[in-house]
Structure 1
Amino acid sequence: MSNTLKAAPENLSGKVEMYSGGLSDLVRKLDQDGYKHAYIDGGSTITSFLNQQLINEVTITRVPVILGGGIPLFGKLEKAIQLREASTTVFPNDCIQTKYSVNYL
């Protein structure tokens, strides 16, 4: 998914598919193609999906490092979103990964 790239880099040719349409159309296409899960990354991309209510589960991994200033995980949301904890996993490296179901208010 890109608003600027028109073709995949040569080293990724045949390994990725480019998409430049609307998000709801993308989700519908993925569903029609049999996909049930998608990995979405990047704060503004995640925010766009959330604002269109296209995400039903969020996984957040906390790493035990204090950075200082920090950057918000998500951009401005149009409405509040309630997260309900579904499961939490603690890893040997002290990372904590929590999966939440998304409830749009």
Structure 2
Amino acid sequence: MRKLVLAMSMSADGFVGGLNGEMDWLAGSLDADATAWLLDGLWQADAHLMGSEAFRDMAPRWAGSRAALAAPLNAIPKIVFTRGGVALPEDCGSWSEARVVKGGLRDEILRLKTQQGKRLLAHGGAGFAQSLVQHGLVDEYQLMVHPVVLGSGLPLFPIMEQPLQLKLLNARCFPSGAMAHVYRPA
């Protein structure tokens, strides 16, 4: 059985994007060690899962990129979850071949988990990540906490009826001040 890993970058105050999804606050906090850690996590997956907004943002940015993180993002198949649909870009390499799943998030994730293979790696956006958390689908959280406070923005975790207890599996601090935290639900 495959596990679902939610891999997200977040500010020190728990936001995964600015109020409008801005990610410019990440600039400068990914040093070589942090990039290597992220690369290792990306290559351990055989499918990248994301919501339609994250897909629309990521496809044109990564398809032609020569950045270190581009290789696994471009090589590994993508599955896009959407409530209403998403137009696949025509000129974005493997991103143009993404599989689109309309609705049925919980059932489709549970089906994917029963298949043989490496882990499923979910990237976001914020709404998609919150849906995964609300449905109790996340088996592991890989959170890269960056040394910046946004004050407001898109939170990673939704409003919850009960606290979500986590068990720390690993933590690592990088020269830039970013910290990687790996948790599983307790």
Tell me the TM-score normalized by structure 1.
0.78
Gaps of 5+ in 2: 1-80
Distance 1:33 1:25 in 2: 17
1:90: which partner in 2? 173
Moved over 6 A (4+): none
Q: CA RMSD in A?
A: 2.0
Local SS of the residue matching 1:101: strand
Gaps of 5+ in 1: none
- The C-alpha deviation readout for 1:33-57, integer Å capped at 9, x for no partner, is 6342222312221221112111111
- Per-residue deviation at 1:6? 4.3
Identity of aligned residues (%): 28
1:44: which partner in 2? 127
1:4: which partner in 2? 84
1:29 is aligned to 2:111: yes
Greater strand proportion: 2
Which of 57, 60, 83 is the matching residue for 2:140? 57
Q: Would the aligned equivalents of 2:173 and 2:179 in 1 still touch at CA under 8 Å?
A: yes
Local SS of the residue matching 2:124: coil
Greater helix proportion: 2
Aligned-partner residue type, residue 3 of structure 1? R
How many matched pairs? 101
CA 1:33–1:26 in structure 2 vs 1: closer, same or farther (change >3 Å)?
Answer: farther
Aligned-partner residue type, residue 25 of structure 1? D
